[in-house]
Every structure is written in C-alpha cells, then in structure tokens.
Structure 1
Amino acid sequence: MKLKSLFAGTALLLALSLTGCSGSVEKGLEYLEAGEFESAAEEFQAAAEKDKDAAEAFRGLGIAKWELEDYEGARDAFKSALDNGADKTGTLYNFIGCCDLRLGDPSSALNYFNLGISQEGNSEELLQEMKFNVIAAYEGMEDFESAKTKLKEYLEEYPDDEQAQKEMTFLETR
C-alpha cells in the first residue's frame, strides 16, 4: 500500500508557519522554498545547535531531511522539535508516523497517526491522509483484518477515493 501524501503542500505550510525566527532559521526557510534541501538542513542544524528557536529549527530540519529521503534523520528532528516545545500538531505526528512506516516500524507509525488524528485544528485533508495512513500501518503489521475494518470505515467517510477503492480490492484477496 502506498501512503497518501500531501507532503509538498504540508511541508510548505509548515515551513511558512515558522515565523519570528532567528537568522539561521530564516535562511533555512529560504533554502527550503528554493528546493535546496541540503543547505536548508545545514542552516536548521546550526540554529538548533545555538538553541535559537530550537523547536522551529528542528521542524525545518525535519522537513529538509524528509525531502532528502533521510527518514531516520527527519523522524529524529521532528521528535526533537516536540521535545523543544513545538506545538503538538497533526502535521508533526503525521510526518513522524510516515517516517516510521518508511523505516519499517508500522506499530510506532500507527501510534503517531492516532496521536495526529486526535489533535485539534487538523484540516480535513490532513485527517483524511492520516486515516488512510492508519490502514497502511495495519497492513505493514500484517493485520489485514484491522486494515479491512479501517478501510471500510474510511470508504464510508470518503466513498469517492479511488485509491482506497482499489486498496479494498487488494485487501479482499488477503
């Protein structure tokens, strides 16, 4: 199963939410927006090491690492953002869950997706993405019955999702 991913838009929105930041964080944002993820990671790492806007720096570092497909680095950075006072948002939890899925830890991913779903202020698109990712986590754990149950609930809520309809066809063969 493929993850549903709205990451490009989510990453940009998350990056734009980093306001009132130090120079290194601002420079990191510029690099992110330009698609220069290595340079962005370096700037955010420098800001985090200076303890200047550490939560924002770690969030930015997580985005840069995600874009570089360094999922372990991204997960660690997002967790550090939370440890340094970042708001506990569905977006952060979704990123951590997706990192865990990519790293082969669907059980941990499921936990983070559920934490994300429980947060207030999630957009409908983000909620839909996280609910779909819950199904991916169950599949990753080879718990196909739970995946089917969650997919049926998902399709009741989002009946026009063609990817989910195809996924149901797949799960019915399990």
Structure 2
Amino acid sequence: MGDFEQRLKGGHPNSLGNTVAIVEEVLENPLLFDELFNCYFSKDEVVRLRVSNAMKRISKANKPIVLPYINRFLDEISKIDQASTQWTLSQLFLQWEKDMTQNQLVQALDIMKRNLANHNDWIVLCQTTETLGKWAKKDNDLKSWLMPHLKRLAKDDRNSVSKKAQKTLNHLA
C-alpha cells in the first residue's frame, strides 16, 4: 500500500488529490491494480474515498481490470462502514450487472437492500435508489420490496433523496 496510499493522503477531503494520476498509472500498468485495491484497507478515510473514486474511473475505462475483484468487493469492501464505499458499490454493481454471476447479483442485491433500509447518508440512498430502481424494472419481487422504501424516502426532508425516490416511483409505476 505504501506508494499509492501515501499519494492518496492529504489535501482537502473532497478533492481528488492524486487520484486521476494514479488511475492513469493503473490503466497503463494493470499489475498495479492490486496495490490500489488494497488501499481500501487504509486507516485514512480520505484515502478510502479516493480509492472508491479511482475504482469507478478504472471500471469505466477498462472494466476487465476490475472484474476479477468482484467477489472481494462483495465480501470485503461491502463491510467497510463508510458512505463513499457504499455509494460506490451501488454504482459499480449497476455497471457490472451483466458481468456478475447469479450468486454475485444476489449478494449485491442484499448489500444494496440493507443500505437502502438502514443507511442515512443521502448519497448512499440516492445511488442505491438509482441502481435498485433500474433493476426493479425487470424484477417484480424487487419492485414489491422497493416500493415501500421509495414511499418512505419520498417523504425525506432532504430534497435530493425525496426527488430521487419520487422519480424512481414514477419510473416504476
């Protein structure tokens, strides 16, 4: 973790820091991906936030680099109690939907259901609503589970959460 972890530290917590440069390095040399992935286990919350951003960028640019790690995302990264990790998982699961096995899809669905039912972070709720809403369009059981949660979230005091829930309710109606 040494070099990448050190380079992902510091600066304003909402800035990307050196994330883009590190993503470019990993895209040029995919053998470096494991070192970056292991930065998810840093004690530094900012490092983990930037790793999540890097994962989305790498997956979008060259998904085959990330796909061998799906089980580790499901089994290990999903247990990290950090909002940025959880909202990133929802985005990645949507991106990987056609690449996951049935068991992986079930596990991803369980993670997102748990997050939607129990999380309070507005971005986690919005991103999870986005993915589950799209998946529910093709899955009536998921749709039935999701509808009461969307109705609850449509009454949320935060505009971003309530609007996303209402939009998804309308989409599924």
What TM-score bracket applies, with the shorter chain setting the length? 0.5 to 0.7
Alpha-carbon distance change, 140 to 41 in structure 1, aligned in 2, over 3 angstroms: farther
Unmatched segments (≥5 aa) in structure 2: 10-16
Contact 1:94 1:130 in 2 (8 A): yes
Are 1:98 and 2:85 counterparts? no
Gaps of 5+ in 1: 1-20
Which of 60, 73, 79 is the aligned partner of 2:72?
79
**How far apart, in 2, do the equivalents of 1:94 and 1:75 lie?**
20
**RMSD over equivalenced CA pairs, Å:** 4.5
**Alpha carbons 1:151, 1:164 under 8 Å: kept:** yes
Query: Equivalent of 2:24, from 30, 38, 41?
Result: 38
Q: Residue 53 of structure 2 corresponds to which residue in structure 1?
A: 63
Q: State the percentage of identical aligned residues.
A: 10
Q: Which residue of 2 aligns with 1:25?
A: 5
Q: Which amino acid aligns with 1:26?
A: Q
Query: Is 2:154–2:166's contact at 8 Å kept on the other side of the alignment?
Result: yes
Would you tell me which structure has more helix in proportion to its own residues?
2
TM normalised by structure 2 equals: 0.54
What SS class does the counterpart of residue 64 from structure 1 fall into? helix
| Alignment of 1:128 onto 2:120 | no
How far 1:155 moved relative to its partner?
A: 0.8
The equivalent residue for 2:13 is none
Q: How far apart are the structure 2 equivalents of 1:66 and 1:155?
A: 27
Cα gap change, 1:158 to 1:111, in 2 (>3 Å): farther
Q: Contact 1:91/1:116 (CA < 8 Å) preserved in 2? A: no
